[in-house]
Amino acid sequence: MLRRDRQIRAQINQLADAVLVAVSFYIAFVCRASPSIAGWFGLDQISADTFDRAEWLILPLMPVAALILESQNFYNRPPLAPRRAVFWPLLKGCSLATVCLILAIYAFHLVLPRGVATFFGIISFVLIYFKEEVLRLALKSKFAQKQYKRRFALVGSSKEIEKMCHDLEGGRDETIAIVSQFDLAKPLPELIEMLHEHAINGVILSARRAYFEEVENTIKACELEGVEVWLLADFFTTQISHTSMDELLGRPLLVFSSVPQISWQSIIKQILDFFGALILLLLLFVIPVIPLIMIWIKLASPGPILFKQQRSGLNGAPFTLYKFRTMITNAEQFKLELEAMNEMRGPVFKVTNDPRVTRPGKFLRRYSLDELPQLWNVLRGEMSLVGPRPLPVDEVRRFNDFAHRRRLSVKPGLTCLWQVSGRNQICDFKEWVRLDLEYIDNWSLWLDLKILLKTVPVVLVGTGAK
């Protein structure tokens, strides 16, 4: 199905799901306030006006729940996708929405029973899944099949038609019915006759560069007939890039990209980065972890508290990275003498027992506390909470494989897949890069959350730090 059709269907579903979320929230209160249900579960009775104090939560909960379901790719599926493609994303989405509701209750100090959030999660899942089942039954009806199914013809060279038939069989789409085929080697009047004979709604056109003239004539003929043309613009083969359509100054544009596209997930990631870094910084000053570390560094050895270094950021743009100083002040002067002790194969310098590290530096490095000032880099938009670790500019210049630079195609982060995958066991920079590219190619908001959760025990135990 075309992207615009998916977008319209997704927007309708999001609106319906937002309404069902609001209904679920109300029903959750009704169930929790019911004396019979409360008695059945052994819960305390709540007053009838409890809902009045929290009904405003419905307004933010509706769009947030829809965005969470969007982040789980709940709407990016065919109309009659397998039930497992509905069940698991919906289950994860409703669970995350319930967690957000619980966090909002605690953040705003609302006097609400925890059972409301539990009932909300269960009821919202049941209602939305029931809606999906009703839609499935409706779409399978003869009336719906006649309404939304469109009649298409495959047009192209004989080899391209064969390939398109194979691809369409592998990725079956219930909205498309292939009723005819046409070889571009045949005269154009035969194409027009075929459009009339089969009452074609649209043409799926595929051809290599040798057929550009025939492709143009076919599009012009369909234009006069009022028949839509879908041109498969796969003239150039790429290894990892995915293509998308856009426009520049009113002219159609093919975009080849090998990095995550701008989406609601990426926008949510930026919001989480900013507020996550802000909240963590405030907490670490209040507790007060950061002030104590600063005093310890100042008393332990002469020199500045912070270490500043030029690192390569997004697409290699240099920025100033901040860390708590863990080495002696003239550490860079001794780096050449320690090159023989480098444990990493490649342009990166890593030493386990670096003699330049100070006493507090060993402790800070073990628990990754020296990285805390980089929360300021996240606030400034130079880094993200999750992403490939930023490398010094001089190390990036020594890349002997230009494919390694693709790890610079996203913002660097405080933590990454490499750090939670046994970084002390990885001694080859190529393996490090492989993990970073695996993160980029499979990025999702859910993957970021999993990496953040895995980072917590790694930091607390102090495993893998160098």
Domains and CATH numbers, the chain: 3-142 (no CATH), 149-235 (3.40.50.280), 264-461 (no CATH)
pLDDT tens profile 61-92: 888 888 888 888 888 877 777 888 889 999 99
Predicted local confidence at residue 160, as pLDDT: 82
For residue 1, pLDDT over 50 is answered with no
Residue with tokens 């135990």: 461
Percentage of the residues of the chain whose pLDDT score is greater than 90: 21
Instruction: Write down the mean pLDDT value for the chain.
Output: 81
Helices (H) and strands (E) in the chain, counts: 17, 10
Lowest mean pLDDT among 8-12, 95-99, 259-263, 338-342: 338-342
The number of CA neighbours under 13 Å toward the Cβ of 173 is 19
Residue with tokens 């030029």: 310
Residue with tokens 């342009």: 347
165/207: higher pLDDT: 165
Q: Which residue, 328, 370, 356, is CA-closest to 462?
A: 370
d(CA 10, CA 41): 37
Q: Which two tokens stand for residue 166?
A: 């194979």
Which strands, in side-by-side order, build the sheet including 176-183? 176-183, 150-156, 202-206, 228-231
Percentage of the residues of the chain whose pLDDT score is greater than 70: 80
For residue 13, pLDDT over 70 is answered with yes
Predicted local confidence at residue 130, as pLDDT: 94
For residues 231-247, average pLDDT:
70
Predicted local confidence at residue 339, as pLDDT: 61
Predicted local confidence at residue 235, as pLDDT: 66
Those residues whose C-beta lies under 8 Å from the C-beta of residue 117, and which sit 6 or more positions away, are 28, 98, 101, 102, 105
